[in-house]
Amino acid sequence: MPLRAEDVRVDLACGTEADGRRRGWYLVRVRAEALRPLGLHPDQPASKIVGPARPPWWYAAAARAARDTT
């Protein structure tokens, strides 16, 4: 795993909604410096969006292409 256990923190919050259903929420935190070797630190240029998003059809075509490979 690229991250050490001490670099990641996972919290769980539970509660009951107004309609009586129980819900749980996870909060995952990763130390910023642990992201640097992966190129994901917020100060690194590679971690920022540098162009427009691909159109929705592009993702569908990629999924079809991945399924069709044998």
- 13-22 pLDDT per residue, tens: 999 999 999 9
Three-state DSSP at 44 gives coil
Amino acid, res. 66: A
Question: In the prediction, which pLDDT does 6 show?
Answer: 94
22: containing domain: 5-68
Q: What is the pTM of this model?
A: 0.50
Q: 27 with 54: CB under 8 angstroms?
A: no
Q: How many domains does the chain have?
A: 1
- Report the chain's terminal Cα–Cα distance, integer Å: 29
Least confident segment among 32-36, 50-54, 55-59: 50-54
Task: For strands 8-16 and 22-30, give the pairing.
Answer: antiparallel
Whole-number Å distance between alpha carbons of 30 and 8 = 5
